[in-house]
Amino acid sequence: MTETSFPGWHGTTIIGVKKNGKVVVAGDGQVSLGQTVIKGTARKVRRLTPGGHEVVAGFAGSTADAFTLLERLEAKLEATPGQLQRAAVELAKDWRTDKYLQKLEAMLIVTDGNLLLVITGAGDVLEPEHDIAAIGSGGNFALAAARGLMEADFDAETIARKAMQIAADICVYTNGNLTVEAIDA
């Protein structure tokens, strides 16, 4: 039996870890089409500076969709400088109600160093428990690993890196080519 439907893009694990006044967002670089790795060095964690306020964002899902969302987030942040939660809620409202945006398939983790948020197309703006957020194909593996490491005497970056390595060892859609961005509270 042959598969006639598009197999879909998979890949990427993004994690955000907040500990001791520092937030780190780390993401792998893998993009897969079906069972084939298309690229292993994609950069899915970005530093934004709308209105002079730094924000770090990581995305999982369709790259074009994620860039559309990042551009919209930047516009919201420029309209409400320094108010990440307000900008995130406005983006989520638009994403949920706009017919064009509703078709976008991506998720975002964003932080300004104080807040750590997950933004979804279902209209959710979530501040995760335990100061850890993870999305993407290997997100649950990275989340579990990071939760286990939070009690140890590691900083946010070490926890994020170790959790991503564990996810890469388990999830075939996650690799060890990391982009890591840190931001202080």
Name residue 22's beta-bridge partners: 19, 184
Angle at 102 between CA 180 and CA 167, to 5 degrees: 30
12 is a catalytic site residue: yes
Reduced to 3 states (helix: H, G, I; strand: E, B; else coil), residue 133 is strand
- The dihedral over CA atoms of 50, 52, 58, 63, expressed in degrees to the nearest 10, equals 30
* Distance (Å, whole) CA 144 – CA 66: 25
Annotated active-site residue in 4, 12, 97, 120: 12
Q: Which residue has the tokens 């598969």?
A: 3
Longest dimension (CA), the chain: 55
Q: Computed from CA positions of residues 163, 77, 126, 31, in that sequence, does the dihedral angle turn out positive or negative?
A: negative
DSSP letter string over 140-153?
HHHHHHHHHHTTSS
* Distance (Å, whole) CA 3 – CA 140: 28
Catalytic residues, which ones? 12
